């Protein structure tokens, strides 16, 4: 399994958030999120899930590999799974 999670440092709505991705497939990511975290598929953000800080330890205990944000992005790009926003968005 190659599910990766970065440190919860992203501020939104008064909380800190992490990004959870797979560097293998979206199917692997969806299965992990549903099985281990109970987050609905509608929360998928195109190539990642946003994970609140209070679920970070749960995700890591379930097998997500903690990495820095740069490594997460690098591995997502290398896997060809990064979805880029259109210019001007």
Contact 3, 21 (CB under 8 A): yes
Residue 89 has pLDDT above 90, yes or no: no
60 within 8 A of 18, measured Cβ to Cβ = no
Give tens-digit pLDDT for 38-65. 999 999 999 999 999 999 999 999 999 9
Task: Go through 63-76 and write b for each residue having 16 or more CB atoms within 10 A of its CB, e for each that does not.
Answer: ebeebeeeebbebb
On average, the pLDDT of the chain sits at: 94
């Amino acid at each position: 399994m190659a599910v990766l999670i970065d440190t919860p440092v992203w501020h939104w709505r008064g909380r800190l958030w992490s990004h959870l991705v797979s560097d293998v497939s979206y199917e692997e990511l969806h299965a992990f999120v549903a099985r281990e975290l109970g987050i609905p598929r509608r929360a998928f953000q195109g190539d990642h899930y946003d994970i609140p800080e209070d679920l970070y330890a749960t995700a890591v205990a379930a097998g997500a590999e903690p990495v820095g944000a740069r490594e997460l992005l690098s591995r997502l790009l290398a896997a060809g799974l990064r979805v880029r926003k259109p210019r001007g968005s």
